[in-house]
């Protein structure tokens, strides 16, 4: 009988064969010849992807799926422009985070601790932990509900406990090298949303128009939902995870960390990092685009304008769009939850551990970093508990997105200040255009958050 470690190794190594078989099938279907050189280039590109890809994929967690589904169901194609407009914004910010990790050899919280007053660090870390824990609870609940659509005979309690145990085991009992591989391949589950949208009869002329031209009436509901979309797209947990994973990648490559690496950071490293980040963010926003398009073309056009859970979005698609679309959507919720929950818990643990100077890192074993893994267990455990206190799933999902939107400006300011500081970044400091765009993103997130707070009291 194979051990769990051997099974994991086989799973991690399987996709290379899958890639070759997929290419052979595509040749037969399309008649298009793909040379060995082109296959090699695809493989090299895939190998170059890492933290940026998994960070972008984690952005489309069940909270994001629910928020995008609600946008499509309630307002049709009107919010499609957000997918294209937020893509460069989130890519620029994530690139700053990755560059900070490469150059400083520290996670984001450790860099904030080094260069800013402690109260600023404590406030940012506490807000991140609270938002992430709420998000974890909402995601675990959505995963269990989606699974019950496929396996209704299994109880909700059994499923949510199972998912909690699996996500914790993956982080605690596997090495970072293997764990990163699982996350990387799991990111491909997001393509199910692209496939599901392509199986639906959609007016692509209207889609393209709405994707370019914003349609906003600035009502209370629209302002609230736009902030939720921005919060679930440009999310603080992604900032911390991206920076920390760049450091983990350096450690995996045998490089020295916890010191400035201004001269050691090579142009090739920065080029690969940027390709990784922009690829991951493109995947994230491509999926957002197709979720909004699919739910707009089905739910909105059939008068279904309110989504209560991510699972309901999948269920509502079944009678309208067909069994295949429904299954893809439901499986996507489960897969993205498996990807996002560990990243949510991990990013909070990185931040808190760096905040207090504890040993941290997924490359360390449990006995080497008890406090780091303890925070992961506590955060996931509280998230699990949220599902047993009667919290409305839609409120948990949407409010977690809005909470991210409200705290993002605070952390964004720190990111821009760090990445534009010559003493910290050396030759890898922000260019003028990048800095201007960084402050523009801060302004947009601040205005959206302020507008939401004001609208709640009107």
Q: What is the mean pLDDT of the chain?
A: 79
Instruction: Determine the Cα–Cα distance for residues 309 and 292; give it in Å rounded to an integer.
Output: 15
Helix then strand then coil, % of the chain, to nearest 5: 80, 0, 20
- State the pLDDT at residue 254: 62
Domains located in the chain, CATH noted:
1-48 (no CATH), 54-456 (1.20.1740.10)
Percent of the chain with pLDDT over 90: 14
- State the pLDDT at residue 456: 65
Rg (CA), the chain: 21
Instruction: Determine the Cα–Cα distance for residues 332 and 283; give it in Å rounded to an integer.
Output: 14
Q: Which of 295, 306, 311, 307 is nearest to 148 (CA)?
A: 311
Q: Residue 4: which pLDDT band, with cuts at 50, 70 and 90? A: very low
- State the pLDDT at residue 12: 39
Q: Which of 84-88, 135-139, 210-214, 406-410 has the lowest mean pLDDT?
A: 406-410
Extract the tokens encoding 399. Answer: 């409010």
For 269-289, what is each residue's pLDDT tens digit? 888 888 888 988 998 899 899
The sign of the torsion formed by the CA atoms of 290, 137, 121, 368 equals: negative
Instruction: Determine the Cα–Cα distance for residues 275 and 94; give it in Å rounded to an integer.
Output: 12
Q: How far from chain centre, in Å, is Cα 419? A: 22
Other beta carbons within 10 Å of 324: 13
- State the pLDDT at residue 184: 65
- Tell me the pTM: 0.79
- State the pLDDT at residue 258: 52
Instruction: Determine the Cα–Cα distance for residues 26 and 24; give it in Å rounded to an integer.
Output: 5
- Quote the longest CA-to-CA distance of the chain: 64
- State the pLDDT at residue 417: 94
Instruction: Determine the Cα–Cα distance for residues 179 and 303; give it in Å rounded to an integer.
Output: 42
Q: Which of 388-392, 393-397, 405-409 has the lowest mean pLDDT?
A: 393-397
Burial 28-38 (b: 16+ CB within 10 A, else e): eeeeeeeeeee
On whether the CB atoms of residues 55 and 239 are closer than 8 A, the answer is no
For 145-183, what is each residue's pLDDT tens digit? 888 888 889 999 999 999 999 889 888 887 656 666 666
On whether the CB atoms of residues 331 and 151 are closer than 8 A, the answer is no
Q: Which of 15-24, 31-40, 112-121, 152-161 has the lowest mean pLDDT?
A: 15-24
For 191-224, what is each residue's pLDDT tens digit? 777 877 787 778 888 888 888 888 777 777 788 7
Q: Which residue has 């080029």 as its token pair?
A: 271
On whether the CB atoms of residues 241 and 347 are closer than 8 A, the answer is yes
For 420-444, what is each residue's pLDDT tens digit? 998 888 889 999 999 999 999 999 8
Mean pLDDT throughout 10-31?
A: 46
């Amino acid at each position: 009988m194979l051990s769990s470690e051997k099974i994991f190794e086989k799973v991690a190594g399987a996709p290379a064969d899958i890639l070759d078989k997929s290419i052979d099938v595509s040749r037969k279907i399309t008649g298009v010849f793909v040379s060995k050189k082109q296959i090699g280039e695809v493989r090299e590109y895939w190998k170059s992807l890492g933290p940026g890809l998994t960070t972008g994929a984690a952005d489309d967690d069940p909270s994001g799926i629910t928020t995008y589904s609600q946008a499509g169901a309630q307002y049709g194609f009107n919010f499609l422009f957000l997918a294209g407009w937020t893509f460069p914004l989130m890519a620029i910010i994530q690139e700053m985070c990755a560059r900070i990790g490469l150059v400083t050899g520290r996670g984001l919280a450790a860099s904030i601790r080094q260069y800013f007053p402690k109260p600023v660090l404590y406030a940012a870390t506490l807000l991140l932990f609270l938002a992430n824990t709420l998000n974890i609870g909402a995601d675990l609940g959505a995963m269990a509900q989606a699974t019950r659509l496929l396996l209704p005979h299994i109880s909700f309690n059994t499923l949510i406990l199972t998912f909690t145990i699996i996500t914790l085991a993956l982080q605690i009992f596997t090495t970072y090298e293997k764990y990163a591989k699982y996350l990387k391949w799991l990111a491909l589950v997001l393509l199910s949303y692209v496939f599901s949208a392509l199986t639906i009869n959609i007016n692509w002329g209207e889609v393209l128009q709405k994707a370019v031209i914003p349609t906003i009436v600035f009502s209370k509901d629209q302002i609230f939902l736009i902030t939720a979309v921005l919060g679930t797209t440009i999310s603080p947990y992604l900032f911390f995870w991206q920076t920390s994973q760049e450091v983990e990648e350096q450690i995996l490559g045998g490089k020295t960390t916890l010191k400035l690496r201004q001269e050691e950071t090579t142009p090739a490293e920065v080029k690969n990092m940027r390709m990784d980040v922009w690829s991951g963010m493109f995947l994230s926003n491509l999926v957002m685009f197709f979720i909004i398009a699919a739910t707009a073309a089905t739910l909105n056009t059939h008068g279904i304008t309110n989504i209560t859970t991510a699972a309901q979005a999948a269920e509502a698609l079944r009678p309208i769009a067909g069994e295949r679309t429904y299954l893809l959507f439901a499986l996507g919720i489960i897969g993205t939850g498996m990807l996002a929950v560990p990243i949510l818990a991990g990013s909070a643990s990185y931040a808190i551990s760096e905040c207090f100077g504890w040993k941290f890192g997924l490359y360390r074993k449990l006995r080497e970093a008890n406090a780091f893994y303890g925070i992961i267990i506590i955060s996931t455990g509280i998230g699990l508990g949220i599902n047993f206190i009667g919290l409305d799933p839609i409120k948990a999902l949407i409010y977690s997105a809005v909470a991210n939107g409200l705290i993002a400006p605070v952390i964004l300011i720190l990111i821009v200040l760090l990445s534009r500081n010559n003493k910290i970044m050396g030759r890898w400091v922000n260019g003028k255009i990048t800095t201007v765009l960084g402050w523009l993103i801060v302004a947009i997130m601040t205005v959206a958050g302020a507008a939401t707070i004001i609208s709640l009291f009107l």
